A and B are shown apart, each in its own frame.
Chain A
Amino acid sequence: KAGVTQTPRYLIKTRGQQVTLSCSPISGHRSVSWYQQTPGQGLQFLFEYFSETQRNKGNFPGRFSGRQFSNSRSEMNVSTLELGDSALYLCASSSGGRNEQYFGPGTRLTVT
């Protein structure tokens, strides 16, 4: 089975721009979660989607948004980028219940 894939792997953007990151979950998995990882804050939960519905959202500003498509693929968008948004963005998928959650390799976003 193919693992969780994330595209792009690396991204450099300028302050004020917006960015869209993509995540394809493991086949059959319907839950996709997004996390931001930084050296200072560690792994922070952004949001979780299941069957195209957001079930929970972390404590991030409204500039961070996401969505999930009918094939379970998910995208997250960050608008009006700030320097502090530079981070590794990780996507994780699971079958939907509270069980094993598998992570992708992440997208490294650098905001200059």
Chain B
Amino acid sequence: GESVGLHLPTLSVQEGDNSIINCAYSNSASDYFIWYKQESGKGPQFIIDIRSNMDKRQGQRVTVLLNKTVKHLSLQIAATQPGDSAVYFCAESTSGTYKYIFGTGTRLKVLA
């Protein structure tokens, strides 16, 4: 069935380094993707989105890359800060379904 998964359940990075969080999706019909950040005790927070007609999209300190050929999505965080410590989820959606399928999540730990 449809699924969205992550390669690394936990990622530890040094403060100031760049972080890369990966996500694989299985539904080739998925055409809209969102990255979320969830801190303890809070709901997921929208970070950045990308549509399938794009390969790359940049935000403030974040970049999302989409490789439709291998059905892979990544989130790059530049100059990782302690406040970036959280669980990150990717979510995918297919036109006409009005729902999002979430990955299992990756915990990002920023080391001082």
Contacts and interface: CB of A to CB of B under 8 A. Distances in A.
Interface of A: 4, 31, 33, 35, 42-45, 48, 50, 55-56, 58, 90, 92, 98-106
Given A58-B99, A103-B43, 10 more contacts: A33-B98, A33-B100, A42-B102, A45-B101, A90-B43, A98-B32, A101-B100, A103-B46, A104-B43, A105-B43
Interface stretch (B16-24, B74-82, B89-97): B89-97
Nearest to A91: B43
A39 to B, nearest CB: 10
3 tightest A-B contacts by CB? A103-B43, A43-B102, A55-B98
Nearest to A88: B43
8 contacts: A31-B98, A43-B89, A44-B102, A56-B98, A58-B99, A92-B44, A103-B43, A103-B46
A42 B89 CA distance: 10
Given A42-B104, A42-B105, A100 B46 contact: yes
A104 B46 CA distance: 11
Interface of B: 32, 34, 36, 41-46, 49, 89, 91, 93, 95, 97-105
Contacts of A45: 99-102
B99 A99 contact: no
Contact of B45 (A31, A43, A98, A103): A103
A103 B105 CA distance: 16
A102 B36 CA distance: 10
A30 to B, nearest CB: 12
Nearest to B31: A98
Contacts of B103: 42
Contact of B34 (A42, A101, A105): A101
A81 B49 CA distance: 36
Nearest to B89: A43
Nearest to A44: B102
B46 A102 contact: yes
